[in-house]
Amino acid sequence: MGALRKAMTKLESLEREVASLKPEELAAFRAWFVEYDWQAWDRQLEQDVADGRLDELANEALAEDARGETKEL
């Protein structure tokens, strides 16, 4: 079985499991997943910052501010 098919089988299995949850179980899973997803996003953002992937965007924003092209929110 190829890696893609194996991954899809795992995903399909998870989808079936989620679909079979009782409403209160689904609510608990949803709350857990939201927190899990935010933590994953935070880790990725921290890694991107550490790797300098956002430096160009930050420099561009600072230059726009210095030229008076921004406004205070």
pLDDT digits (tens, 9 = 90+) for 14-69: 999 999 999 999 999 999 999 999 999 999 999 999 999 999 999 999 999 999 99
Give residue 5's pLDDT band: very low, low, confident or very high (50, 70, 90). Answer: confident
Q: Does some domain include residue 1? A: no
Asked if residue 67 belongs to a domain, the reply is yes
Q: Is 48 a domain residue?
A: yes
- At residue 6, the pLDDT reads 75
Compute the distance between CA of residue 7 and CA of residue 2 in angstroms, rounded to an integer: 9
Whole-number Å distance between alpha carbons of 51 and 1: 36
Full domain range(s) for residue 46 = 22-73
Q: Are 18 and 29 in contact (CB under 8 A)?
A: yes
How many domains does the chain divide into?
1
Measured CA to CA, the distance from residue 38 to residue 43 in angstroms comes to 9
Tokens for 38?
A: 């935010």
Is 13 a domain residue? no
Domain-embedded: residue 9: no
Q: How confident is the model at residue 1 (pLDDT cuts 50, 70, 90)?
A: low
